Structure 1
């Protein structure tokens, strides 16, 4: 029987021995998630379309003591997602956790969108998630274990201004979550989504400097009266990625300061 100290040490690094893929990890929420999973013991495979920023992020992750592989590329392409899964399997021999964070919408009034910005929004958010899930589920199923955590959006639920196209993409992610969760529930694979509201990313901070009224409008729907913090999102992701969340699947869990309830 383990001592209380040993039990606490185990809980302090709940992903020890696990391998996690984090997409969109060059900065912002994705990097914060990777840092959290690394501190919690996971070996990391990080991906992003921005190769230079990804290499900088990988260096920061290695500085914390995490074992890291980095693979740049456009994950809205099937071949890139397939190569990402292959990279993880070659480096570590397994894939335990996939965090589909890659995304980023073009936030505009619906009629201000162009065909290009609409396609970009769907590609970045929905196709990246679809292809990465498709790439990692077979090895997870073979091992009888897997945790998939998607990053969705609370705006899907509250109909936030200027988010219609973005919500179409993230709503697809929410729907994919429930479908995959049911299909693979008996294969030891859980699939959940964390849906943040406005979050204090470097991008939001920059927008607030240029367009403070716009950010205030988005924050106005949050009862707590503030944007979320990246660490608050990463904390929920880490929980859902762990063994303690083994009976949680098919859920869209909002980290949103109350901007939607139930």
Structure 2
């Protein structure tokens, strides 16, 4: 009955995510903020999560200023099970459901493998893999209980093309990719789809700043992209929005690259 009512509300609203509740992690800026803006434009009710001290509240305010509902903001270290559980619970408390989980929290420490320290290796795994694992572990029972869910992990095209200085980062993101296929098979009968969006170099604020300070670094990573440019954050967000929608109901267990052709199949 609730699902029928939601579908009727979405049809009346005209936006494909109307009535859906989405939790976006790592939402304080860059790709995460772009995803949040896109899901809000598509009608989702949002909870935005990021680490304490991040400008995630500013993203929520910007979404409200754009004429959408003001997202709920939660902070915590999602690499810790307690924080992930608390934020998933807060989403349920705020909106009564959790339909869409976007595991975007991450951040790579990109350097030659032997330049890493035990601390930077642990941080890379924590930021990228444990955040996704814990959030998913807490979200899936909620989705399973309602017979519906969309989980979209933000992976990395570097897992496939072996970019310079990405070995440790790829270890973490490769786990994110592999987790999705296992979960997709395990929970397909529960109405839950699990997919990965794998970007290549994207024109984030960090990349834009790097163009000024280390242009040769940016050029090196753009050189593997046949389209000859970084992707835009909006291009990544559009794929996430599709996978988060009912239109993608027959897409699960997939790694979908948004990469300008830097890897091809």
TM category, shorter: over 0.9
Cα distance change of structure 1 residues 215 and 136 upon mapping to structure 2, 3 Å threshold:
same
Cα 1:246–1:11 change in 2 (3 A) is farther
Distance in 1 separating the partners of 2:263 and 2:13 = 31
How many Å apart are 1:235 and its aligned residue?
0.2
1:196 aligns with 2:199: yes
In the alignment, does 2:248 pair up with 1:251? no
Say if 2:90 is the partner of 1:90. no
Find out whether 1:218 has 2:221 as its counterpart: yes
Q: 1:64-83 maps to which residues of 2 (within 5 A)?
A: 64=66, 65-83=68-86
Q: Please say which of residues 54-63 and 20-29 is displaced more in the overlay.
A: 54-63
Q: Which residue in the other structure is 1:54 paired with?
A: 56
Cα distance between partner residues in 1 of 2:115 and 2:221: 19
With the length of structure 1 as denominator, give the TM-score of the two structures.
Answer: 0.95
* Runs of 5+ consecutive residues of structure 2 not aligned to the other structure: 1-7
Displacement after TM superposition at 1:12 (Å): 5.1
Coordinate RMSD, CA, aligned? 1.5
Query: What is the aligned counterpart of 1:16 among 15, 18, 25?
Result: 18
How far did residue 127 of structure 1 move? Answer: 0.2
2:240 is aligned, of 231, 237, 242, to 237
Q: Is the 8 A contact 1:51 1:73 kept in 2?
A: no
Q: Distance in 2 between matches of 1:169 and 1:203?
A: 20
| Distance in 2, Cα, partners of 1:52 & 1:259 | 32
**1:67, 1:97 → 2: CA distance?**
17
Is 1:150 aligned with 2:153? yes
2:188 to 185, 189, 196: 185
- Structure 1's unaligned 5+ residue stretches are 1-5
Say which SS state the counterpart of residue 227 (structure 1) adopts: coil
Query: Is contact 2:61-2:70 (8 Å) kept?
Result: no
Partners in 2 of 1:156 and 1:167 — Cα distance? 5
Taking the aligned partners of 2:147 and 2:11, their CA distance within structure 1 comes to 26
